[in-house]
Amino acid sequence: MDFPQPLAHGQLVSRYKRFFADVVLDDGTAITAHCPNPGAMLGLNTPDLGAWVSRSDDSKRKLAWTLELVEVDGGLVGINTMLPNRLVAEALAADAIPALTGYAVHRREVKYGEASRVDFLLTHPDRPACWLEVKNVHLSRTAGLAEFPDCVAARSARHLRELEAMVAAGDRAVALFVVQRTDCETFSACAELDPAFARGLDQAADAGVEVLVYGCDITTAGVTITRPLAWVR
């Protein structure tokens, strides 16, 4: 996925009220950008981190700028939780995730479970439906290890239970974790920050929910899902 316009670089001043980020651009302009990330952003909200922001020309938006990437130890981390579904849609269309190829139709935001909408429903006349939930991963506290979540994620835990129900009904279900970092090779559920989710992921996997983890190539021009990462239980 390419960014529609070149990103602008600056320094993060503050991330606050979850969805706001103050940034000073390299030309000295101070802006307030939309921060499309409801999580804690541990290690990614420190003042003076390098920040890359996109600008929209949509006059209906309250904030023209959006925080897209931050620089940590010289590497880029994608913090936009809106991107992974778009990245997965592109990867599915390109058959870039071997475990998810062979489906005739890819539907998005299909109602299921307890008043939820699954990110993707993959179908083919000759095989069981595949219910696919996508999670964005940007937390890393140990070199090489990506973790999810970075705060209590009750909604994500509910999604795991709903995926289990799809397996029990005879369908296929997959939890796909998209790691928007370039410095990680393994992934683990963060039991320290959300023990309920960590237990739920193990339980879901034991019940037949498939757990896939993919890393990304990230540049200031765009983000692309590229490689599988190992899940460490």
Q: CB atoms < 10 A from the CB of 227, how many? A: 12
> Are residues 215 and 118 both part of a single domain?
yes
Handedness of CA 223, 147, 51, 21 (dihedral sign): positive
Residue 16 pLDDT greater than 90, yes or no: yes
Burial 140-165 (b: 16+ CB within 10 A, else e): beeeebbbbbbeebeebbbbbbbbbb
Could you read off the pLDDT of 142-196 as tens digits, one per residue?
A: 999 999 999 999 999 999 999 999 999 999 999 999 999 999 999 999 999 999 9
Could you read off the pLDDT of 69-86 as tens digits, one per residue?
A: 999 986 999 999 999 999
Average pLDDT over residues 198-203: 98
What CATH number is associated with residue 37?
2.40.50.580
> Are residues 143 and 198 both part of a single domain?
yes
Please give the Cα distance from 85 to 83 (Å, whole number).
6
Higher pLDDT, 4 or 200: 200
In-domain check, residue 71: yes
> Are residues 189 and 94 both part of a single domain?
yes
In-domain check, residue 3: no
Q: Which domain holds residue 108?
A: 83-231
Could you read off the pLDDT of 27-76 as tens digits, one per residue?
A: 999 999 999 999 999 999 999 999 999 999 888 899 999 999 999 986 99
> Are residues 192 and 97 both part of a single domain?
yes
> Are residues 156 and 170 both part of a single domain?
yes
Last residue of a domain, one of 78, 95, 124: 78
Number of domains in the chain: 2
Q: Where are the alpha helices (DSSP H) in the chain?
A: 83-93, 154-168, 195-206
Q: CB atoms < 10 A from the CB of 29, how many? A: 10
